Amino acid sequence: MGISERMGDVLGQAVESKLLREVKEHTIKVQHLAIIMDGNRRFAWKSNIATGIGHRIGKEKLERVLDWTLEIGIPWLTVYALSTENLNRPKKELETLFKLYDEGLRDIADDKRIHENKVKVQIIGRRELLPKHVNDAIDYAEQRTADYDQFVFTVCLAYGSREEMVDAIRSIAEEHAAGDLKLEEINEKAVSKRLYTGEMPDPDLVIRTSGEERISNFLLWQMAYSELYFSDVFWPSFQKKDLLKAIRTFQDRRRRFGE
């Protein structure tokens, strides 16, 4: 490594440290961060590597981002890992993804950092659409962390927000038909309670990587008053400074909540 590269690294670390200090000292905190992890495939194509390798690097990046959120002190982290639409991808690619989810969930469940920080791991989505070995890994991760409540790490697998709302509507319709839910009791709170995220606060900040500026059927109800931040970098290239910049941008915004 040359002198200019070393100087660049030192400068980069100094900027990162400054951003981290500003984020942690700011009076406005991110309580719930949601991330649309986008760009694994395009990263692989651009880097001239196999798509599966791109997904594996993306998995490793998620582990790093979880570390960063723990360091910052964000109590709720939710990530969009696999949409219901993604299930239409080629069989070989899906098999690679399922293998990574299986491996990743078991690694997280056994990670001492998860247990030291009391991180509850939970998966939301239509689990019946996932293969048995992935569901077994989900059960393993959820059972091993079920008693924790300091941090909550939520992975959306086989998830679609419209499907989630349909499920909530069905639940409300069934309860109303059975006489267990009065018409006047059907309100925003009743709907929120019956979503997959019923026990979770709505996200404060939603980040999407890869330069795409859409929300792709992710937390449509919950995102009503969230602040959105779009990053140009592909997910595998997402760095700590990118996360800190997003949070600092959020902290500098004035949230109006529809006012």
Residue 243: inside a domain, yes or no? yes
| Catalytic (active site) residue 139 | no
Quick one: 155 and 169 in the same domain?
Answer: no
Q: Are residues 75 and 187 in the same domain?
A: no
Q: Which domain holds residue 179?
A: 161-195
CA distance 240 to 58: 14
How would residue 187 be classed by pLDDT, with cut points 50, 70 and 90?
Answer: very high
Check residue 9 and give its pLDDT: 64
Give the total number of structural domains in the chain: 2
Q: What's the whole-number mean pLDDT along residues 117-122?
A: 98
The backbone torsions φ and ψ at residue 122, rounded to the nearest 5 degrees and listed phi first, read -140, 150
Judge if 142 and 91 occupy the same domain: yes
Residue 254 scores a pLDDT above 90: no
* Whether 86 is catalytic: yes
CATH number at residue 65: 3.40.1180.10
Kindly tell me if the per-residue pLDDT of 1 is higher than 80.
no
Sheet strand arrangement including 119-124: 119-124, 151-156, 76-80, 32-36, 205-208, 227-230
Look at residue 108 and tell me if it is in a domain.
yes
Instruction: Assess if residue 13 is contained within a domain.
Output: no
Alpha-carbon gap, residue 29 to 31, rounded angstroms: 6
| pLDDT tens figures, 44-90 | 999 999 999 999 999 999 999 999 999 999 999 999 999 999 999 99
The answer to whether position 257 is within a domain reads: no
Whether residues 181 and 92 fall in one domain = no
Same domain, 90 and 185: no
The predicted pLDDT at position 170 comes to: 97
Q: What is the pLDDT of residue 2?
A: 61
Claim to verify: residue 61 and residue 175 sit in the same structural domain? no
3-state secondary structure of 32: strand
Q: Are residues 79 and 168 in the same domain?
A: no
Catalytic option among 40, 48, 67, 86: 86
pLDDT digits (tens, 9 = 90+) for 140-166: 999 999 999 999 999 999 999 999 999
3-state secondary structure 97-135: HHHHHHHHHHHHHHCHHHHHCCEEEEEECCHHHCCHHHH
Do both 143 and 212 map to the same domain?
yes
The reported pLDDT for the residue numbered 100 is 96
User: Is the domain of 118 the same as that of 241?
Assistant: yes
Q: Which of 56, 27, 25 is nearest to 40 (CA)?
A: 56
Do the domain assignments include residue 15? Answer: no
Indicate if 141 and 241 belong to the same structural domain. yes
Query: Does any domain span residue 17?
Result: no
- Kindly indicate the confidence band of residue 15, based on its pLDDT and cuts at 50, 70 and 90: confident
Residues 70 and 166 in one domain: no
For residue 168, being part of any structural domain is answered with yes
The pLDDT value recorded for residue 6 is: 60
Residue 174 lies in a domain: yes
pLDDT at 259: 62
Tell me, yes or no, whether 141 and 168 share the same domain: no
